[in-house]
Chain A
Amino acid sequence: MAGRIDYKQKYEELKAKFMSSVDASWRDGYQHGLQDSQVEQAAQQQEADAMAAAQPGQPGEEQPAEGEQPEAEEEAPISQNPNGDELGQHIEKLESMLGKSEISSFELQDLKKTLNDIRSLQVYINLTKSRESAKSAKMAKPYTPIKMTPKLQANLPDQSKKALTLQHEIIANVFKKWENDSARAASGIGAILNSEGITKKE
């Protein structure tokens, strides 16, 4: 029927969205958690594994920056729901209700309430995960040239110290100007497309 709402489909969409959201939050928390000190200790024991998962130094490939864990160590975890019991109850209830062909107004209200519960639970889980992530996450730092302290420069010949500093200066210089240059190129491309008359402003 044209005017009838397909609750089953809506439920499926909502469920899929919810699960992907929980998965993303969990994975995010997991990856940040990898950088935590506990994982670093465990990583020392698994040094051999890290060796196998290390990236080769080939240009043109995506490479992790020094100090980052190799990609293979950050395998996407299996979907997990930390609050599975409570959530499972809600889902079971929804499924049993949606299994029925007819939904009464009372059941519809109950369904709405259950969905609201799931939403609030989702918000709660996301907030918890974000808080956990924020605790363990290291802030991304802009690229800065290395500062040579006496401890760092042990065994480094003088020309190496200068060369290493110079290398960092070169990289920093290129990327400092890249931001402006790429923005200029992007606006140039936008202007070309505008002159073609194929873009519209929203």
Chain B
Amino acid sequence: MYGIHSSAKEQITKLVENLFDTVALRFVGNLPKLQQKKTMLIGFEQNVSLANLFIQAMNNRYPNILEQDVLKGLLDGAYSYIDILKNKTSNNITQRIDGLAREARISGDKIPQDEINKILKDELDKARSGLETIIASEGTKTRNLGMAMDITRAAASTGDKDPIVGFAVIRDGSTCPICVKLCVMPDNVTPRLYRMSELNAGYYKRGDTVPSILGQHPHCRCTLFMVPSDWGFDKWGKITYIGIGHDELAKQRTA
């Protein structure tokens, strides 16, 4: 017993693919994989994508070969996650509708429109939730990696191969307790410092005792900043020049 025709399945799949590819075009930008789909975006639509974010995080400097490669990896990674979600959503929608159609044909009835709408709403809501996670986490990752690349380059120019960094935590009342614990000292004011090499370079995992360069979670707003030698923090936790020979990291670790 069949459900919906294969041609209908193909059309549904194409509609869902177009929906996700449009999102990917807006978010990731004009990847080679999306070349054929770029006409989906209206020509005069101003589009700011992950690539712009990366360049902005690098202080609008032209990326070198290494940074271009990092950016390419970031864009490919982000597109892969969207692609996986696209296939999952498209498959879920067609399979669920196909199942309903099969049941309806067996019973000699038709599918109520409400049931179709319910399936579509359910799947598209799930897709939106998944997209939000992907977009938030990939955005955070791109921004922080851009910052990390910029800090590394600036530090290397002064001969420092392993710069001291901290995370600027946005303290607006909705900051997550993990970010505060990992990125702020127990006085709840002074940023906690790390060597760049000590930071976790992958996604943050529960129980990790050091923050991740990529951010602690998808909506993480903590941002890397460098603390040059001789610099430290005032009593409000704001970075300031202390004096020649001052080592803020050593001070924090001996306290």
Residues of A that sit less than 8 Å from B by CB: 43-44, 47, 50-67, 146, 151-160, 162-164, 166-167, 169-171, 173-175, 177-178, 181-182, 185-186, 188-190, 192-193, 195-202
Contact = CB atoms under 8 A, between A and B. Distances in A.
B207 A52 contact: yes
A52 B181 CA distance: 13
Nearest to A47: B177
Contacts of A156: 168, 223, 225
26 contacts: A47-B181, A51-B207, A52-B207, A54-B217, A57-B215, A59-B133, A62-B130, A63-B133, A63-B137, A66-B220, A153-B168, A154-B236, A156-B223, A159-B59, A166-B56, A167-B53, A170-B53, A171-B135, A171-B136, A174-B27, A177-B26, A181-B22, A186-B120, A186-B121, A198-B110, A202-B112
Interface string B12-26: 100110110011001
| Range class of the B interface residue count | 35 or more
B48 A63 contact: no
Contact of A154 (B8, B19, B238): B238
B174 A159 contact: no
A54 B4 CA distance: 43
Contacts of B163: none
Interface of B: 4-5, 8, 11-12, 15-16, 18-19, 22-23, 26-27, 48-50, 52-53, 56-60, 81, 84-85, 93, 97, 101, 104-105, 109-114, 116-117, 120-121, 124, 127-140, 142-143, 146-147, 150, 166, 168, 170-179, 181, 191, 203-207, 212, 214-221, 223-225, 236-239
Contact of A146 (B27, B56, B221): B221
